[in-house]
Structure 1
């Protein structure tokens, strides 16, 4: 057994705001001392964000924050591979009980377990662990066993205060059926939801636990709105008020971006067939007025080991057509065609790269891009059964 190679870097304080998402997952308390929940240390991870992840890179940068309301006694980093553990004490900055640190870790083939332990002088001990699977063969062997695709499909035809639409529910049901039957998605359908139901549903997806290669697609069809004064786009819910200056009865694109980015699924695609959908990209909101050659498993490893936050909208900062009653909207029609034509036969995989050309001749200006913590060269893929 080869020795674990661990490259130790200095642990400087990192200045500036960062988005730490996952906190502690194990607590120990010395009951001989006065310990309360408010005095326990807190460990928050930036990378890896989720408890179990895959990486094809030879090394990763561990980034985390340790915080305590009382003086810290010790902080340790433990790396375990093949039953062997390497432990290092992390230097606690003087006069600071809250600090960020980062550490480069050279990965070995197989499972790499990383654990942080923080203990304060009141006897509270908190540990937080991350598992990183490295090696293409190991990752390939786990794809079919662990990977699952989810689709949250939201469609609104009927509105209390806005004009009703013809096709969103029909579009959504057709797309949901294809995703379920052809690509094996677990489809969650929301029909004519209120803004309260939308917020509750997004919260539920933030509470779910996902495997490293799981994917989540969110499809939204219905009315969209853009407020020129606030310079912000909105999803219109079934109970959104027309005269609502504060837009409290709408789901704002800013809030939607943040909450979707915080979902603990590594691969997310947001598809919006709504007016002004392109303003999900804040740069747009600020404005005034051939198939790939690949072997399926290797391609999936390449794409599904990178964090994905993509969006696809039916238009930019503009109104988009609903379509003829009883049919599909122009955007949904192209999306359905792409899902049906690609994926299956010799090519099981439909990537967003292959999806985009279907929308290029629409009279509107569909937009494709990334949001939040999207990684370079990432992609969302539809894998036919």
Structure 2
């Protein structure tokens, strides 16, 4: 009997041990998951709801981060739910850590009760070497029990350090006593070197190089510590053509460089043997603001080089490039739009003079962000600058309203409330104070933006032509079609229109290549290889005066 009792006790204890083991196995597989599950389920009746809003503030109020500038992002976290949000952690990252230092990338916000908010300032410091473009900041807020806020992002334009722009503003060839240029007699070349840019030029070097058998009388290289905005220097280089010099012309090469190597200039000035010159002491005098040329007759002796250079003096080149494939809801995705836009960006960067790029691809190309970048161009572009805009994505035309539209990536319906109208685009283009603006739109119904014509200067391949069309304001557009659908598919991963556009820009061998030449290069191939007809005309009501946007090879 005692033995049976012991056996029963052992069996019973074994059963208890087995049950305890089973229960601990079931409930002890993930203590962390269990903890979170319990907390979440216990608060389902009063969950928090976190919402992030942000704003950007910079020192000079130009709505961009300038090189060397300190700015801030103000982040507001609001709990719109009915329960508290606990142990909140705010984090912020950027897609370019090489040039932007974020003072605090992570902040502990503690607990946020229902219907309350907290604001935090995130300080940003830009490197002096910050390039122009845009930087994307992403803001996250994590909550202890998993009630995290939806991430928020900001696209903030950046501006490189204000750049100088060095030029030979004027020049004179002279001799000591005046009279003709003779072999064996010295000649002076005096130039006015001016900084026409928005920033100070540092460590200037001005170098003169004469041809063989023409020798410097003294220095051929001149160095200056700096040249301020609008400041100018008078520099005189003396040279002597010896008896062995046989050519009629004497070309003098001038190269001006500064610290960065980006904003100098090169030029060749020429004087002829037997040209009648003024005496060195009678031509150039220094005024309070400018170096003034004086003397009788034509002071440039018919050479006209300085005037031509002034006419062709160009400011910055800006590019706004937009490409959207990832449409959803009412709009079908595209296949080639982003690839087209990125190919255009790469080509312009590698082959042509462009100083500032703003790119919006797929999720970045929201209605709000596109309009924000147009606003930035209105605020920052100057009257000597040039603006290139490329849009590749869906377009729409509402016949009842007689109006065309761009379709941004966040358009969810076919309502015009989700679109950007061509009228809005025209308003922005008329507000951008550039010398030249060229819009290229590869989208359905893009031709609606025209509806008007002005007379253009007939093309001729000469510097005189380019100087003339550069001097006249232009606001023009090239569209892939008129008021008609256009093709997304094409050749080599590009639309038909983009394929021939890239081919024309890539195949150009001229120093200058204007918008009218570009259009003539693509018009026939696009018509012959698709059902669409490209257009090239002034944009209505934007101030076009018949000039041309000019692509300049590097």
Q: Same fold (TM over 0.5)?
A: yes
CA distance in 2, matches of 1:283, 1:146: 27
Unmatched tracts of structure 1, length 5 or more: 1-112, 114-135, 285-289
SS of match in other structure, 1:207 = helix
Residue by residue over 1:269-328, the C-alpha shift from the partner in whole angstroms, topping out at 9 and shown as x without a partner, is 1100000011112469xxxxx983203xx4442122111000110000111000159610
State the number of aligned residues.
239
Identify the range of structure 1 (183-192 vs 373-382) with the bigger mean alpha-carbon deviation.
373-382
CA distance in 1, matches of 2:372, 2:400: 28
Tell me: CA distance 1:194–1:273, structure 2 relative to 1, closer, same or farther (3 Å): same
Q: 2:480 aligned with 1:317, yes or no? A: no
Q: How does 1:135-146 map to 2 (within 5 A)?
A: 137-138=305-306, 140-142=308-310, 146=314
SS of match in other structure, 1:337 = helix
CA shift for structure 1 position 159:
1.3
Partner of residue 188, structure 1:
358
Q: 2:320 aligned with 1:152, yes or no? A: yes
CA shift for structure 1 position 183:
0.5
SS of match in other structure, 1:269 = strand
Q: How does 1:217-366 map to 2 (within 5 A)?
A: 217-244=388-415, 247-282=416-451, 292-295=460-463, 298-324=464-490, 327-342=493-508, 344=509, 347-357=510-520, 358-361=522-525, 362=527, 363-366=531-534
CA distance in 1, matches of 2:335, 2:491: 5
SS of match in other structure, 1:196 = helix
CA shift for structure 1 position 167:
0.6
**RMSD of aligned C-alpha atoms?**
2.6
Larger relative contact order (Cα-Cα within 8 Å, sequence gap ≥ 6): 1
CA shift for structure 1 position 208:
0.5
CA distance in 2, matches of 1:304, 1:270: 17
CA shift for structure 1 position 332:
0.2
CA shift for structure 1 position 160:
3.0
Residue by residue over 1:65-106, the C-alpha shift from the partner in whole angstroms, topping out at 9 and shown as x without a partner, is xxxxxxxxxxxxxxxxxxxxxxxxxxxxxxxxxxxxxxxxxx
CA shift for structure 1 position 376:
4.1
For normalisation by structure 2, the TM-score amounts to 0.41
Tell me: CA distance 1:278–1:216, structure 2 relative to 1, closer, same or farther (3 Å): same
Unmatched tracts of structure 2, length 5 or more: 1-288, 290-303
CA shift for structure 1 position 238:
0.4
CA shift for structure 1 position 220:
0.3
Partner of residue 76, structure 1:
none
Tell me: CA distance 1:326–1:294, structure 2 relative to 1, closer, same or farther (3 Å): closer
Partner of residue 201, structure 1:
373
CA shift for structure 1 position 137:
4.8
CA distance in 2, matches of 1:312, 1:144: 23
CA distance in 2, matches of 1:184, 1:230: 40
Tell me: CA distance 1:374–1:360, structure 2 relative to 1, closer, same or farther (3 Å): farther
CA distance in 1, matches of 2:311, 2:351: 18
CA distance in 2, matches of 1:323, 1:139: 48
For normalisation by structure 1, the TM-score amounts to 0.58
CA shift for structure 1 position 147:
2.4
CA shift for structure 1 position 151:
1.1
Partner of residue 53, structure 1:
none
Partner of residue 164, structure 1:
333
CA shift for structure 1 position 259:
1.1
CA distance in 2, matches of 1:145, 1:266: 11
Contact 2:311 2:471 in 1 (8 A): no
Contact 1:166 1:325 in 2 (8 A): no
CA distance in 2, matches of 1:312, 1:271: 5
